[in-house]
Each structure stands twice: as structure tokens, then as C-alpha cells.
């Protein structure tokens, strides 16, 4: 029997593991829930529920419940995953929602050891723009290894595009207070490549936080199957934090080559000035984007990231 509306309890999905969802209700009780049958059918083509989702559940007993409805999302950070069989409703790829209803995404890189990959930064930013996340922040760790002090200049183009850039050092405690304040009372994604010191940085924000996040948030790839074990970790200062490994090897979901330029804040203003409406900004005459690159109005490294990502998308669309 379907639960009556008056019996439903509102909650937040804070954990997901192999088709089971941990739903935290207002009194902080966490119920282990499955999706109602009709929702499970819808989940074949995309993830109906993910960490960060606001849901309504019917309580079965002191520990378990059923997700009866998923409330409308304000955003969703997704990636494309390959499918087989009925999964994906016959399509070659399906949407995997990494996290929903994110307030901000913090992309963590190192000033050195390893050096920052600006193409990866730009990929992350495009994913965040596509997802509609309000605040996208770049965190640069290990500035104590920045011997020539070049980090500020290297990341200045991002500041000019109104992306907050926070220089930090987990070893010296630089920028930690600002990072802690930025996480307060928000649902935050915290991700970046290996070796940039994410765990150490989180441990300076809250003792043991890095270890907790690392242990409960991982992504495993086994052939064609993807098994997730992800969780929102409650912060002592309020809010939740999720380390999302799925974004580190992000395959863009639902971004067509023709719309990619709209997700580059520095390129988008020049698109309407191109001679041709379908300009790819690679070789066409009268391309305002390439003229802006030549004039130094668009950073060349950013432009190279655009071309690389567009070529990747064109190849993917040609395949599927």
C-alpha cells in the first residue's frame, strides 16, 4: 500500500551504497532506505536518487524506510558512464549523478609536486558550470613549495573570471581559516587529482576529517559495471562535505560540442561576434574568439583547453 502523504517524512540522502540509501531526517536519525518500485524503474536511464537529494520517505521500523518521492533538484553534478543490458534503457551511455543540490564545488590542486594541470581545472569548471553550481572555487595547496611565488600569477586569469582562488598550505596552516569558513553550513564537493594533499588539508580544517572522507567516498570501476559507495560527511561547523572521486576522470554528460563555448566564462562573451553562427573557433574566418586570443583578451591556455575538450566531445558524439 502506498504511504499516505501525511505519513511521509522529509530527509536528506547522506549515503549511497549498492542500491541502499542512508536518509537523514530532521532529528538526525538515519534510515536505510530502498527506492519504491516505480522509482527503481525510472532509475534505469538516470539516477533518481543520489547523495544530496531531498526525499520523502515512509518509515518501516526504527532503522529502515522506503523512498517514496524525490524532490526537484536545484542542480546535479553528473558524469557519463557506459551501460549494458537494460541499464540505460538501451543507450550506450547513461547519466550517473555524482551528487545533487550542491552549494559549492572546491577543486583542489597543488602549486607544485605535482604541478597544476590547467586542462583538468578547466574540465572541472565546465562540469560545474554545466551542473549549475552557484559557487566554483579553486583551492591551491602546497604553496609552501612555490619557491618563485608564481602561483598567484598563474591563477590570476581565473580570478578575473570571478572564480574564487584560495592559496593554502596544509603544512603551514595557511588559508585554513578561510577554507573552514567557506565550508560552513553548505553542501560542498571537495575534489581534485591524487597527490595534491586533500586529506592533509581536510585534517587541518577538522581533526580526522580527511581520514573519514577518504574512507567513505570511493569509486570502483569493474569492467562495464560501476559500484559506488559515497557519503556526505557532517561538519562540526555545520554543513556537509563530499569527496567525489567520480569527477576526477570525468566524462562529460549531456554537453554537445556546439554548446561547450557557453561554459567557458571568458570565451562566451565573444561567441556572438563571430562571423558564422556555427563557428567552432578553430579555423573559421572572422572568428572573434581567436581574435581575442591573439589580442591577449582570452588566455591561450584556456583556449587550448577549449579546443582539446571540444575535440573529445566531437569524437564521443561521432562514436555514439
pLDDT at 226: 41
- The residue among 214, 247, 280 that closes a domain is 247
pLDDT at 55: 97
The reply to whether 229 and 265 lie within a common domain is: no
Domain presence at residue 77: no
Total number of domains in the chain: 3
β-bridge pairing 9-17 and 54-59: antiparallel
pLDDT along the chain (320 residues), means of 10: 66 93 96 90 78 96 95 91 56 81 96 94 94 96 91 94 97 96 96 91 92 60 46 94 68 86 97 96 96 97 96 78
Specify the DSSP element, H or E, that contains 181: helix 176-183
pLDDT at 93: 74
Closest-CA residue to 106 (of 209, 302, 197, 242): 242
Question: Which CATH number characterizes residue 314's domain?
Answer: 1.10.40.50
- The residue range of the domain holding 240 is 97-247
The reply to whether 219 and 268 lie within a common domain is: no
The Cα 35–Cα 21 span in angstroms is: 8
pLDDT at 250: 64
The reply to whether 243 and 309 lie within a common domain is: no
Beta carbons within 10 angstroms of residue 50's beta carbon: 23
Whole-model pTM: value is 0.87
Q: What is the DSSP string of 71-90?
A: PPPS-EEEEEEE--TTTTTT
Amino acid at each position: 500500500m502506498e504511504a499516505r502523504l501525511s505519513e511521509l517524512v522529509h530527509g536528506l540522502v547522506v549515503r549511497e551504497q549498492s542500491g541502499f540509501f542512508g536518509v537523514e531526517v530532521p532529528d538526525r536519525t538515519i534510515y536505510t532506505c530502498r527506492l519504491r518500485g516505480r522509482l527503481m524503474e525510472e532509475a534505469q536511464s538516470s539516477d533518481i536518487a543520489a547523495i544530496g537529494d531531498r526525499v520523502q520517505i515512509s518509515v518501516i521500523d526504527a532503522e529502515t524506510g522506503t523512498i517514496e518521492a524525490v524532490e526537484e533538484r536545484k542542480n546535479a553534478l553528473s558524469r557519463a558512464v557506459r551501460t549494458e543490458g537494460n541499464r540505460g534503457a538501451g543507450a550506450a551511455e547513461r547519466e550517473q549523478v555524482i551528487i545533487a543540490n550542491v552549494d559549492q564545488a572546491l577543486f583542489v590542486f597543488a602549486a607544485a609536486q605535482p604541478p597544476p594541470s590547467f586542462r583538468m581545472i578547466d574540465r572541472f569548471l565546465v562540469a560545474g558550470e554545466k551542473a549549475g553550481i552557484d559557487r566554483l572555487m579553486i583551492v591551491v595547496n602546497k604553496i609552501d613549495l612555490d619557491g618563485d611565488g608564481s602561483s598567484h600569477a598563474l591563477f590570476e586569469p581565473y580570478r578575473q573570471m570571478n572564480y574564487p582562488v584560495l592559496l593554502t598550505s596544509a603544512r603551514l596552516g595557511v588559508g585554513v581559516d578561510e577554507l573552514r569558513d567557506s565550508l560552513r553550513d553548505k553542501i560542498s564537493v571537495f575534489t581534485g587529482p591524487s597527490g595534491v594533499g586533500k586529506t592533509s588539508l581536510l585534517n587541518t580544517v577538522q581533526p580526522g576529517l580527511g581520514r573519514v572522507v577518504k574512507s567513505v567516498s570511493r569509486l570502483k570501476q569493474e569492467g562495464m559495471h560501476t559500484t559506488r559507495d559515497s557519503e556526505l560527511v557532517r561538519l562540526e561547523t555545520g554543513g556537509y562535505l563530499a569527496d567525489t572521486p567520480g569527477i576526477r576522470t570525468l566524462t562529460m554528460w549531456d554537453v554537445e560540442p556546439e554548446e561547450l563555448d557557453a561554459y567557458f566564462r571568458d570565451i562566451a562573451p565573444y561567441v556572438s561576434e563571430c562571423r558564422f553562427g556555427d563557428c567552432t573557433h578553430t579555423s573559421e574566418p572572422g572568428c572573434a574568439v581567436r581574435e581575442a586570443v591573439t589580442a591577449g583578451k582570452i588566455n591561450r591556455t584556456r583556449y587550448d583547453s577549449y579546443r582539446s575538450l571540444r575535440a573529445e566531445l566531437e569524437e564521443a558524439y561521432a562514436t555514439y
